[in-house]
Amino acid sequence: MSSVRVLVGTAKGAFILTSDGKREKWDIAGPFFAGWTVYHMKGSPLDPNRIYASQCSDWFGQVIQRSSDGGRTWEQPGGEPAPDFTGQPPGVSNKFVYEGNPGTHMWYDGTPHPWEFKRVWHLEPSLTDPDTVYAGVEDAALFRSTDGATTWQELPGLRDQRGSEWQPGAGGMGLHTILLDPRNPQRIYVAISAAGAFRTDDGGVTWKPINRGLKSKYLPDPNAEIGYCVHRLALHPSQPDVVFMQLHWNVMRTDNAGDLWTNISGNLPTDFGFPIEVHAHEPETVYVVPIKSDSEHFVHDGKLRVFRSRTGGNEWEPLTNGLPQKDCYVNVLRDAMATDTLDSCGIYLGTTGGQVYVSPDGGDHWTTIVHDLPRVLSVEVQTLP
């Protein structure tokens, strides 16, 4: 019987949760990197033992960790912890190396300031090579390593898309989503808060903004190419041209790889939220977690409800069985919901209150795996043989 490994990044370390295919009893290991912020962990889809982790500290800067034994032991592929590069571009050797001029971008008042390397928001292992992994960083840029996270090079064409005009969202100007097209290794989607979504069709050499159809009340030009606060993107491997988006406001869908987006918020109680995920075996089944508003980052009506659409959007149903439905004021962050690929698809989510939940039946019933972790920042799942 297959098993699952759930990788949980928190504000005070990382945890690894494992179970068999029934997903009823869980072993909990950790904390790894105790006291450090772990923004994201993700395992290679090709090697079940390979995991990458983004470890960050205000004191010691950014470190990438790698495990080759399923998370039992870890190493820093580049050697010593990275220095703090705040206010200047990173250096050379085994760290994050910008290809060109790091440049500047503009604050809202029009004053320039230098591009700063602050942290790695998201790690996306390659679909074709376990030693290749992508990193989305703040300030927003995209990097790639082909030697198991030992050295990194920027894909600089992305910031040619008017990067000097990008603005930070409330949480910073992070590149937080990286989607790899399983049918076309040259196609990559990324999302940046608050610049928008972008796509490359040539492996990262050139990029185009894919924001037509998005709306923002904060932009004076209703047809602006950039400036949209995209919170998260998701796709199903069988339909890589169909991408779902949780926008700052509105849940969106494209059927043509981002060339045009349509609103699918439908009957959601509120269309503000952060995560969005797709069922492993049903490409038109989508999950979101609405929260109250962009100023009140907690679930609507004090109820933790995951909403599911089986029709690719517009028609949504609340999933509540086993989730708290009274006096609950947590949030689910953009990287804190995931799915496994078992025959009965499991849905997982972590909250800012430190709870991690699982539904082994696609959202119909939920149980708590663990309920007293630090603030959960990310949840990823490896389905193991």
Q: Whole-angstrom Cα distance, residue 119 to residue 100?
A: 19
Query: Per-residue pLDDT for 170 more than 90?
Result: no
Q: Whole-angstrom Cα distance, residue 49 to residue 311?
A: 36
Residue 338: both structure tokens together: 């995931």
The gap from C-alpha 217 to its chain's centroid, in whole angstroms, comes to: 24
* pTM for the predicted model, two decimal places: 0.93
Q: Whole-angstrom Cα distance, residue 146 to residue 126?
A: 9
Instruction: Kindly report the CATH number that applies to the domain delimited by 3-384.
Output: 2.130.10.10
For residue 160, which phi and psi values (nearest 5 degrees)?
A: -70, -15
What does the pLDDT look like over 349-362, one tens digit per residue?
Answer: 999 999 999 999 99
Q: What is the pLDDT of residue 254?
A: 98
Angle at alpha carbon of residue 172, lines to 170 and 176, rounded to 5°: 110
Average pLDDT over residues 167-184: 93
State the Rg of the chain over Cα. 19
Q: What is the pLDDT of residue 85?
A: 36
Query: Per-residue pLDDT for 363 more than 80?
Result: yes
Which residue pairs from 130-134 have beta carbons closer than 8 angstroms and sit at least 24 positions apart in sequence?
130/44, 130/46, 130/47, 130/50, 133/44, 133/52, 134/178, 134/180, 134/188
Query: Per-residue pLDDT for 87 more than 80?
Result: no
Average pLDDT over residues 157-185: 91
43 membership: H or E segment, kind and range? strand 37-43
What does the pLDDT look like over 49-65, one tens digit per residue?
Answer: 999 999 998 887 889 99
Buried b / exposed e along 242-265 (16+ C-beta atoms within 10 A): bbbbbbbbbbbbbeebbeebebbb
What does the pLDDT look like over 105-146, one tens digit per residue?
Answer: 555 555 665 677 889 999 999 999 999 999 999 999 999 999
Query: Per-residue pLDDT for 229 more than 90?
Result: yes
What does the pLDDT look like over 117-126, one tens digit per residue?
Answer: 889 999 999 9
Residue 60: count other Cβ atoms within 10 Å of its Cβ.
Answer: 14
- Which region among 213-227, 253-267, 315-329 has the lowest average model confidence (pLDDT)? 213-227
Average pLDDT over residues 166-190: 94
Helices (H) then strands (E): counts for the chain:
0, 30
Q: What is the pLDDT of residue 64?
A: 93
Closest to 251 in 3D by CA, of 341, 298, 297, 313: 313
Under the banding of pLDDT at 50, 70 and 90, the label for residue 90 is very low
- Are the C-beta atoms of residues 86 and 116 closer than 8 Å to each other? yes
Answer whether the bond into residue 139 is a cis peptide, omega within 30°.
Answer: yes
SS3 158: helix
What does the pLDDT look like over 2-49, one tens digit per residue?
Answer: 899 999 999 999 999 999 999 999 999 999 999 999 999 999 999 999
Higher pLDDT, 341 or 294: 341
309 membership: H or E segment, kind and range? strand 306-309
Query: Per-residue pLDDT for 334 more than 60?
Result: yes
Under the banding of pLDDT at 50, 70 and 90, the label for residue 187 is very high
